[in-house]
Amino acid sequence: MPYRKLTIEDVAHEAGVSRATASRVLNNARGVSEELRDRVNRVVADLGYRPNAAARALASGRRDVLDLVVIACRTDAHMFGAVPYYSRVIAGVMAALAGGDVQLRVNVTEPAGAPELIDRVAQSATAGAVLVNVPPELAARFHARCRRVVSLGATAPQVPAVEPENSRGAYDAVAFLHRIGCRRIAAIHGPEANTCAAGRRAGHLEAVRELGLADLAVDGGFSRECGYAAAARLLAEHPDVDGIFAACDQMAAGAVQAITDAGRRVPGDIAVVGFDDSVVAACMSPPLTSMRLPVEDMAAAATRALLEGAAAPHWRRFFAIDLVVRDSTGPDAALLIPPTRSLDRSSALTGRR
């Protein structure tokens, strides 16, 4: 069913109050009884209503704040600004906020501090929150306390989300390695608890089954060090590997270094495909073939959904992931790019599913 944007009149009607009363409650104005205030707030939570951020700022004289909530590993949390993925998220959010009156507040924590941060931000959120690397159970916990939230990545069913087609992207990466002649294709997977890594793992397994390949894979973390260690292990256990799919560009960079340190060549002996198409991919030697994750567009879409009040429960928007061919898969690989998929799901699916 198509989703109609909620209005303050919908809130007032559902709560059985006038539009003026509903407005006073939403703006924390005086002159409303506690009973009516509680009733309106319950309806707002139940409906997932979010007033237009710019209009609210004009009416109240206050500037709203959009919270970016990031759960990062210890290394990423201490070097947040240096991780390409997070800088791309911020760039996308800021592009959507440009020209408005909403400020950005960045909240970063390690997993141990995540529940406390989730509860604190849910209590204080105004324009809403974009969640990054927040597990489904914690995203659902946030959503139960504050409906003004969008997850960047797959999450609990009720939580609004912007999702890249991770499974399809990983499938295409493995299929491309097979298309250019690789037959012993290994995968370096990301953390099991990460939903994006889980999607890429599923896509790899689907390709392995359909192409009749051996399931050669090692788990790791989204870092260069983990990619190096995983590739070194793969080369020791499976010296005949001729293609590697890494679930992020940083792991791919580590894999290329491990291959080179082992006296082998990329792409002459082993072709490598990464995932993200971050600045890391273009700056590597050789430049890395990678699956293009449209991070900036996804972050901007999540932000606009919050500002426009479009992110109802179960709302989803999907983004396709495209192959960007560079030298890590050979000089002639670009000639073998498969045709564009007929299904384009990069447009919004703005209803309940």
136 Cβ contact list (under 8 Å, min separation 6): 154, 155, 156, 159, 195
- Contact 346/320 with Cβ under 8 angstroms? yes
- Tell me, what's the pLDDT at 105? 94
- Tell me, what's the pLDDT at 352? 31
In angstroms, the Cα distances linking 15 to 43, 55, 244, 296 are 6, 22, 57, 38
Alpha carbon of residue 350 to chain centroid: 18
- Tell me, what's the pLDDT at 333? 64
Distance CA 117, CA 110 (A): 10
- Tell me, what's the pLDDT at 344? 32
Q: Look-up: residue for tokens 């590993």?
A: 73
Distance CA 54, CA 59 (A): 9
Mean pLDDT, 10 residues at a time, over the chain (353 residues)?
68 86 78 85 84 54 81 73 88 92 91 93 90 96 93 96 97 96 97 92 97 95 93 96 97 97 96 95 95 96 91 94 95 60 36 32
Strands 289-292 and 322-324: antiparallel
Distance CA 130, CA 299 (A): 8
- 78, two tokens: 């201490």
- Tell me, what's the pLDDT at 10? 87
161 Cβ contact list (under 8 Å, min separation 6): 150, 151, 152, 153, 154, 155, 315, 316, 317
Q: Look-up: residue for tokens 């992110």?
A: 311
Phi/psi of residue 73, nearest 5 degrees = -70, 170
Distance CA 198, CA 38 (A): 40
> Inter-axis angle of helices 34-47 and 19-26, to 10 degrees?
80
Distance CA 239, CA 336 (A): 26
Please count the residues of the chain.
Answer: 353
- 236, two tokens: 């020791």
- Contact 87/81 with Cβ under 8 angstroms? yes
Strands 149-152 and 161-164: parallel
In angstroms, the Cα distances linking 53 to 61, 96, 126, 214, 338 are 12, 12, 9, 52, 43
- Tell me, what's the pLDDT at 337? 62
- Tell me, what's the pLDDT at 345? 35
Peptide bond preceding 286: is omega within 30 degrees of 0, i.e. cis? yes
Phi/psi of residue 96, nearest 5 degrees = -75, -25
- Tell me, what's the pLDDT at 229? 97
- Tell me, what's the pLDDT at 29? 72
In angstroms, the Cα distances linking 348 to 53, 121, 152 are 21, 27, 14
- Tell me, what's the pLDDT at 1? 40
